[in-house]
Structure 1
Amino acid sequence: MGSSNLAIPRQTILIVDDQPENLVLLEAGLQDMAEVITCAKSNQAMEIAIACDPDIILLDIEMPEVNGFALCEMLKSHALTRTSTIIFITSHDDFENESKALALGAMDFIGRPINLNVCRMRINNHLRLQAQERQLHEAYQALQKEKEHFHVTLKCIGDGVIATDSHQRVTFLNPVAQRLTGWSGSSAIGQCISKVMTLRDATSNETLINPISVALSENRTVAMALNAKIISLQGREYRVEDSAAPIRDAEGNITGAVLVFQDVTESIAMATQMSHMTNHDQLTGLPNRLLLHDRLLQAIPRNKRDGTKLAVLLIDIDNFKYLNDTLGHQTGDKVIFQLSQRLEELCDAHTSLSRIGGDEFVLMSSDISSANHVEMVASQVLRLSSAPVTINDEEYKLSVSIGISVFPDDANSEKELVRHADTAMYRAKALGRNRYCYFSDELQSEVDQRFLIERLLKRAIEEQTLEVFFQPKHNLITGKLVGAEGLVRLRDENNRIIPPDAFIPLAEETGLIHALGEQVLHQCCSAARRWLLQGTPVKVGANIAALQFSNDQFYLNIKQALHTHQLPAQWLELELTESALMHNFDETRGILQKLSDIGVSISLDDFGTGYSSLSYLRFFPLDVLKVDRSFIKDMLDDPQAKNIVNAIIHLAHSLNLQLVAEGIETKAQLESLRNLGCQEGQGYFYSKPLPLQEFEARYLLIQPVPDTKAL
């Protein structure tokens, strides 16, 4: 069969013949070429043809109910079957029958006795013709649809569009161009562009060269002259601007030009108003970030020259998101407006207020010579902000956090001043809100470290260089290896391990936890599959963060990881914290149930430190409880901690849950847990988390593969 660049759906052949042996022969011979449908009763053929829309219909001529010629006529007269190719199967070879068949719309004949090879070649040719015809029809429809789309677009576009031929004669005007020029489409076609579109200088009224003339003569895109106006056929004037460009055919030859222009009369009239809106906040009327930037650029050199200081106080309303979400954005806007009016009381010749974000203001105080001036201003901001705000006869208590950055002490540029004030503001929030905090080098060092870790984490995720270490889980009675927990590790630029508590919270805060979790999951599945194939199967636990449940693809990602690594689900355990279970209770339960149904084990990590609600031990499909290390650490010295561990062990036994103790560091802890009936455990008493190859060499007797790159 011939090939085509276009995908062809499987085609259909309908065979109508009253002789069963003919139907069986043809169906067997053609079924690999197309879907074959047979019909032994010609009076049912029409109904079947309408239902299955066949590409080819094979008809016998002599049939008892309806003969082939009559059926052919019926098929060709029906809208749903007229395009099907009809081929007659007949022993007749006389001119009269052939002429009649062709006159009725038949395309070919297959003679009896049937030569199957010849028959297949004929059918194949007609299938190809049908496929090509359908492709041509679809391409034509797509072309017509695209043409109609372009036509509608040009008519609906808000700009004026005029096209000309290479001699500057108009070939098209859209409705906007007709309105602005005053010419109708029929009147303008064939006219010179300079006649249809009269361009003048808006100030001198001198005639301007139409940009289409320049575009055609210089073979380039041309912008319309500045300060241009168009005078319509009726004498109306419009300020316009835009450009013209030559039109080229597929060979690059210029066939004409197109001019796109717009009425900017109102835009020019509103320029002053727009300039104000560009530089001011619409809600409060205060200068916005753009104008603040400009004022800082002017103030810094002046203060530097005069030997004075410049302070930037970044003010953020505490818990504003909660207020906004609870009371609505309209109430939130009223709160911001009232606070802005209060803070404007502090403005004078040396102090200005700007709104730079949703609930963020900047107070810029310039020409400072007094040492305590900044603290005095910050205290006034706190005092003004603390007074209740009244909205619809309801009072709301506010507080703000203020970050302060001073030129030249903390920064030498406007961007640094604002950035450092922002850093100090977040420190004020961290210290309890409703206070002000100065920027310092120590504070910047903390921020820089955070940015460094975030950058390292992003790069490790992008380059897939995150490592997973494995900590063994042991049977506390026999000491036998019963599993391993996969723990992610991140290295800095000096190849030193960064503690997980330094980057996991950051990953959750920045949303990188989804990509991180997926990479860890795949590495855990890969290791478990490797050990399974080598005859030393080990169930691997992968930690799942609460935020990962917000990903609606979470369940599918787990299934995909198992499929990718061809890992049976029984060798994967998902370790969840109690906070993860509380995220969207019903949805989380549904996801975990589906995972449990396919064989994935569900482990509740750090049990006893979170919500500790016994209800979700009943509602969630849990398999394992892991006792938090804090109880294990204190159980030998604190009877209460030991009683908690004992209670958790009894609880797990009563619910038929496997129990794992975390953080076993001493033999005394191990003996105590054995005596209490704990089955499994992990911790530094057995081993710290180990890199993959070291874990394999120690526990699975798998020798590490030499690093050929180092040879």
Structure 2
Amino acid sequence: MSIFRYSGLLKSVRGIQHAIYQAATKRIRSLIALIAFFLLGYSTFVVTVFLEIDVSYDLIIVPILFFGACFVLATADITVRIFRELLSANVQLEKMALKDVLTQLPNRRQLESRLNIAIDDAKQSGSIVGLMMLDIDRFKRVNDSYGHRFGDELLVAASGKIIRSIRESAFVARFGGDEFAVIIDDAKSFDEVVEEARNAIRAFTKPVVVRDQEIRLGLTVGVSFCPRDGASVDELIKNADLAMYNAKDRGKNTCAVFSGEMVGAAQQKLQLESELREALVHNEFVLHFQPQMDISREKAFGVEALVRWQKKDGRLCPPMEFIPLAEETGLIVQMDLWALKQACRTGADWHARGMQVRMSVNASAMLLGRENIVKQVLQTLEETSFPASYLTMEITETALLQNIDSAVEVIRQLKNKGVEFSLDDFGTGYSSLSYLRMLPIRALKIDRSFIKDLSVSGQGAETLVQSIIGLAGSLGIGVVAEGVETEEQRDFLKRHGCYRIQGYLYSPPLCQQDAEEWLGNHMDKTLHS
């Protein structure tokens, strides 16, 4: 092969190398160009050495120099690209670290940073900073009923409602879960901030629409102020939270402003919770039984079993002091199951002695929501040998509506086994004919608040009670009035067709021994209700 042929080949190689070099200098990000340049440079060296071609050294040196230059350029180019991508990723991560992914609102971290700036500004200018903590009422119920995806869409819609209801200058953030926070640093007075909180609450009086479904929620708000209620981020958040929980204790869907007394109340609540847990461990609870009367025959037909907390010093703790807390902490389920078993044991003992008494027990929303509740109830009946046909489980409208589909299924399954159900505190919740028609219940219980007002003129209680009695009759179910304390109330109920009552007119809740004696004097021993 002639020297000219190899010389032409080498020129071609150098031309290709030059083209690759140009590509590299134009920052064409291709490792293929770099690899090709290296292979061609290497081939030039091989051809020169092994074929002993007399060519100038630049054919060898130049490719090596080109290779080095291209390597540096390509490496620098790749490094710049990686740096830019890392910088971009870092910016995105920083944004993600400061924003809530679901609602796209600032998150807790950004809230705390913004609140810290507002506090520093307030210290210098002498202005006030208002912090509102907002919690969506009944969100958990909807989330459990419709699923988490629906719940996420609901949170997005709710966050939009909050933003639209308050001033544009406010800083709105998602604090976590169904809780939001709002910073207002341009208010002239405390009242301005409170009014913003009320605006947000009023916005939730209208339903939130998700997937063409109207969902009715509520909003509970707690408010704290800087510098009055604290001069640090942690203090303001803690105190606004305390105010919010105080508002929840007062009935939800309202606003509370922090005060020093709330700290003591919160500490007392924590202490009570601790004592409540110990009471469950040490079995400090007892059942009292309030007789239920059939006034058409003046005979007892059953009792309602009521949980009482008998503390170590013998003092009975009022139910309203611990039942709401038990519901809030989830301890109510354990209490309900204990009460059910004790009531069935007592009922079985009374039946064995000839007192065919119907036993009514209360069932909380949490109890109805347990996956194995049907199995647990039936197991309790079997263990205690108490007949299912004599057990009535009382549920409130509020508990029923927390997950109506699941509750109806539980009711139907237990109804098929003989257990009866009654709707407690009827008229105080979301009374609706639509769900009453689908419920296989034994009776409606008229709330004591309506009975109390029967003797008060101008309250409309008489019309309301008559309507409930008529409604129950039209649906073919019974009605029981609770809280009857006067003969006037009893006579009114009797005139309008309500013959089953309970209340202090006949007897307060009694301990087991006193209840046995009372029932022995006021019921037919062969009565089967």
- TM-score bracket relative to the smaller structure: 0.5 to 0.7
Do 2:128 and 2:189's aligned partners in 1 also have CA atoms closer than 8 Å?
Answer: no
Do 2:365 and 2:399's aligned partners in 1 also have CA atoms closer than 8 Å?
Answer: yes
Paired residue for 2:489? 669
What CA RMSD, in Å, does the superposition of the two structures yield over aligned residues? 5.7
Does residue 514 of structure 2 align to residue 689 of structure 1? no
Deviations 1:134-188 (A, max 9, x none): xxxxxxxxxxxxxxxxxxxxxxxxxxxxxxxxxxxxxxxxxxxxxxxxxxxxxxx
Deviations 1:588-630 (A, max 9, x none): 4443233223222222334455555556565433333434334
Map 1:496-515 to 2 at 5 A.
496-515=315-334
Residue 303 and residue 495 in structure 1: after superposition, are their counterparts in 2 closer, same or farther (change >3 A)?
A: farther
Query: May I ask how many residue pairs the two structures share in their alignment?
Result: 416
Aligned partner of 1:681: which letter?
Answer: I
SS in 2 for 1:522: helix
Paired residue for 1:553? 372
Paired residue for 1:577? 396
Counterpart CA distance in 2 for 1:594 and 1:285 is 44
Aligned partner of 2:359: which letter?
Answer: V
Q: Is the radius of gyration larger for structure 1 or structure 2?
A: 1
Paired residue for 1:41? none
Do 1:661 and 1:682's aligned partners in 2 also have CA atoms closer than 8 Å?
Answer: yes
Residue 599 and residue 495 in structure 1: after superposition, are their counterparts in 2 closer, same or farther (change >3 A)?
A: same
Q: Give the share of equivalent positions with the same residue, in percent.
A: 35
Q: Which runs of 5+ in 2 are unaligned?
A: 1-85, 144-148, 204-217, 522-529
Do 1:318 and 1:433's aligned partners in 2 also have CA atoms closer than 8 Å?
Answer: no
Q: 2:289 aligns with which of 470, 493, 503?
A: 470
Deviates further, 292-301 or 589-598: 292-301
Residue 634 and residue 438 in structure 1: after superposition, are their counterparts in 2 closer, same or farther (change >3 A)?
A: closer
Do 2:480 and 2:498's aligned partners in 1 also have CA atoms closer than 8 Å?
Answer: yes
SS in 2 for 1:665: coil
Counterpart CA distance in 1 for 2:198 and 2:457 is 46
Counterpart CA distance in 1 for 2:312 and 2:234 is 28
Q: CA deviation at 1:270?
A: 12
Q: 1:441 aligns with which of 233, 245, 260?
A: 260
Counterpart CA distance in 1 for 2:495 and 2:196 is 64
Do 1:577 and 1:604's aligned partners in 2 also have CA atoms closer than 8 Å?
Answer: yes
Do 2:393 and 2:422's aligned partners in 1 also have CA atoms closer than 8 Å?
Answer: yes
Q: CA deviation at 1:489?
A: 2.6
Do 1:313 and 1:378's aligned partners in 2 also have CA atoms closer than 8 Å?
Answer: no
Higher relative contact order (CA 8 A, sep 6+): 2
Deviates further, 483-492 or 504-513: 504-513
Counterpart CA distance in 2 for 1:380 and 1:636 is 41
SS in 2 for 1:360: strand
Paired residue for 1:597? 416
Q: CA deviation at 1:524?
A: 1.3
Counterpart CA distance in 1 for 2:401 and 2:254 is 33
Q: CA deviation at 1:528?
A: 0.9
Do 2:361 and 2:394's aligned partners in 1 also have CA atoms closer than 8 Å?
Answer: yes
Residue 515 and residue 301 in structure 1: after superposition, are their counterparts in 2 closer, same or farther (change >3 A)?
A: same
Residue 435 and residue 472 in structure 1: after superposition, are their counterparts in 2 closer, same or farther (change >3 A)?
A: closer
SS in 1 for 2:361: strand
Q: CA deviation at 1:574?
A: 1.4
Map 1:147-162 to 2 at 5 A.
none
Residue 583 and residue 377 in structure 1: after superposition, are their counterparts in 2 closer, same or farther (change >3 A)?
A: closer
Do 2:369 and 2:407's aligned partners in 1 also have CA atoms closer than 8 Å?
Answer: no
Q: CA deviation at 1:443?
A: 3.7
Does residue 342 of structure 2 align to residue 523 of structure 1? yes
Deviations 1:307-357 (A, max 9, x none): 989957245487897999588389669959999xx98x78xxxxx998644
Counterpart CA distance in 2 for 1:603 and 1:276 is 55
Aligned partner of 1:687: which letter?
Answer: S
Relative to its length, the structure with more helix (as a share) is: 2
Q: CA deviation at 1:684?
A: 0.2
- The TM-score, its normalising length taken from structure 2, stands at 0.58
Q: CA deviation at 1:426?
A: 5.6
Q: 2:360 aligns with which of 541, 553, 558?
A: 541
Counterpart CA distance in 1 for 2:405 and 2:513 is 40
Counterpart CA distance in 2 for 1:271 and 1:301 is 32
Aligned partner of 1:517: which letter?
Answer: D
Aligned partner of 1:410: which letter?
Answer: D
SS in 2 for 1:328: helix
Deviates further, 484-493 or 421-430: 421-430
SS in 1 for 2:368: helix
Do 1:353 and 1:364's aligned partners in 2 also have CA atoms closer than 8 Å?
Answer: no
Paired residue for 2:526? none
Paired residue for 2:500? 680
Does residue 153 of structure 2 align to residue 328 of structure 1? yes
Deviations 1:54-84 (A, max 9, x none): xxxxxxxxxxxxxxxxxxxxxxxxxxxxxxx
Counterpart CA distance in 1 for 2:360 and 2:448 is 17
Deviations 1:214-246 (A, max 9, x none): xxxxxxxxxxxxxxxxxxxxxxxxxxxxxxxxx
Deviations 1:371-411 (A, max 9, x none): 96878899999999x99xxxxxxxxxxx9987554567535
Counterpart CA distance in 2 for 1:654 and 1:634 is 24
Counterpart CA distance in 1 for 2:98 and 2:180 is 14
Q: 1:624 aligns with which of 443, 446, 453?
A: 443
Map 1:395-410 to 2 at 5 A.
403-405=222-224, 409-410=228-229
Counterpart CA distance in 2 for 1:372 and 1:613 is 45
Q: CA deviation at 1:542?
A: 0.6
Aligned partner of 1:667: which letter?
Answer: E
Q: CA deviation at 1:687?
A: 0.9
Counterpart CA distance in 1 for 2:400 and 2:409 is 11
Q: Which runs of 5+ in 1 are unaligned?
A: 1-267, 347-351, 388-398, 702-711
Do 1:315 and 1:400's aligned partners in 2 also have CA atoms closer than 8 Å?
Answer: no
Residue 533 and residue 312 in structure 1: after superposition, are their counterparts in 2 closer, same or farther (change >3 A)?
A: same
SS in 1 for 2:293: strand
Q: CA deviation at 1:485?
A: 0.4
Paired residue for 1:168? none
Do 1:403 and 1:422's aligned partners in 2 also have CA atoms closer than 8 Å?
Answer: yes
Residue 536 and residue 633 in structure 1: after superposition, are their counterparts in 2 closer, same or farther (change >3 A)?
A: same
Q: CA deviation at 1:472?
A: 0.8
